[in-house]
Structure 1
Amino acid sequence: MPQTESNPIAIGTKAADIQLPDSRGREHHLVDFESKPALLVAFISNRCPFVILLREALAQFGREYEAKGLQIIAINSNDTAAHPEETLARIGQEVETYGYTFPYLKDETQEVAKAYGAACTPDFFLFGADRKLAYHGQFDDARPGNGKPVTGADLRAAVDAVLAGSKPAASQIPSIGCNIKWEPGNEPSWFSKAA
């Protein structure tokens, strides 16, 4: 299956603003979570095999780490005209089915994905209390078909470090997944259709 690697984003990059709706019509803003000591922005999908592999583990990770102070915001930026399984209504179904306790938002214009430089699903951006990027890498090394268990080991280690007031490991393995499904004519300059 085609694979896209997350873009290289400089550690220390500030979190871009977020003003996006969830399936219940509530709009969420980045400032809503300013008191949290750590923020994870996760670009995910309802259809990508890479996300399907880890979504139950991601839900469990969310329950565990939100209790420790991590705020998670999941975002779906895929084109809904070409992929109707990525609509806001379907996002609501995913939340119910998999027990996501964190906001799962729809980026209909795809502007938030562009602002973050998100390239694939899943694509994880972990920020410290100062909302500067501390980790941009994989959940773990499990991939569809490689037989490795889904543990979230890489992301867990990074979040543990940030919550403890230290820096995650400098060596960060990029996330790999499906490319974000850009609306025709809305592709960012760095998007390669060959991916």
Structure 2
Amino acid sequence: MAERPPVCDFGTPAPDFTLPATDGKTYSLADVAGEKGTLIVFICNHCPYVKAILERFIVVAQDLQNMHIGVAAISSNDVTTHPDDSFENMKAVAEEHGFPFPYLYDESQEVAKAYGAVCTPDFFGYNADLKLQYRGRLDDAGKNPAGPDTTTDLLDAMRQIARTGEGPAEQVPSMGCGIKWKAA
């Protein structure tokens, strides 16, 4: 069942984290933060919504990095119920797609909980002061292929954030598979 995150809670500070990445390093929020802003996105390997947007997102991530916006992806799914999302499989996906950003593993799910992530993909766009300014979608194509009239919601919002420190007032939430939480 598709999930939608809540609307942006403007000004919420980015929760700190320290997580292992598929490149063998460990990253904190400070390590991935950019001079003009930071984008944290919760994704996973198996979700059809993520698979559908992944190549488009990689292009956007490269554009953002060229604008001095830091980018990191985090996978928080329970791998006992969803083994496709294991750390080893994360490494394979990152390598196969040439991720230009760290792909981090939140095994405890504490980071996803701290951010309030609800689905994959779930985008969190922060300004240079690490205050939340965007909690919307990548674009309006969703799981469909992008066309010539596809909006560029995330890219446009992060450009605005880099320029002004503030995100757009109107945002359309992302849609995706719910985070696969561990049994209590």
The TM-score normalised by the length of structure 2 is 0.93
Structure 2 matches for 1:70-149, cutoff 5 A?
A: 70-144=69-143, 149=147
Runs of 4+ displaced beyond 6 Å: none
SS at match of 2:173: coil
CA–CA distance in structure 2, aligned partners of residues 148 and 100 of structure 1: 20
CA–CA distance in structure 1, aligned partners of residues 171 and 78 of structure 2: 29
Give the corresponding residue for 1:190.
Answer: none
Distance 1:169 1:98, change over 3 A: same
For structure 1, list consecutive stretches of 5 or more residues without a partner in the other structure: 186-195
Instruction: Give the counterpart letter for 2:19 in structure 1.
Output: L
- Contact 2:125–2:132 (CA under 8 A) maintained in structure 1: yes
Decide which moves more: 110-119 or 60-69. Answer: 60-69
Instruction: Give the counterpart letter for 1:89 in structure 2.
Output: E
- Contact 1:135–1:158 (CA under 8 A) maintained in structure 2: yes
CA–CA distance in structure 2, aligned partners of residues 131 and 86 of structure 1: 28
Q: How many residues align?
A: 183
For structure 2, list consecutive stretches of 5 or more residues without a partner in the other structure: none
Q: Cα deviations across residues 128-184 of structure 1 (Å, max 9, x unaligned)? A: 01000011111111233x565395600011011011124222011111100000011
- Contact 2:17–2:29 (CA under 8 A) maintained in structure 1: yes
Give the corresponding residue for 2:49.
Answer: 50
Distance 1:152 1:75, change over 3 A: farther
SS at match of 2:40: strand
SS at match of 1:101: coil
Structure 2 matches for 1:171-186, cutoff 5 A?
A: 171-185=170-184
CA–CA distance in structure 1, aligned partners of residues 25 and 126 of structure 2: 23
The TM-score normalised by the length of structure 1 is 0.88
CA–CA distance in structure 2, aligned partners of residues 147 and 100 of structure 1: 20
- Contact 1:57–1:152 (CA under 8 A) maintained in structure 2: no
Instruction: Give the counterpart letter for 1:3 in structure 2.
Output: A
Structure 1 residue 42 displacement after superposition? 0.2
CA–CA distance in structure 2, aligned partners of residues 34 and 22 of structure 1: 15
CA–CA distance in structure 1, aligned partners of residues 108 and 90 of structure 2: 16
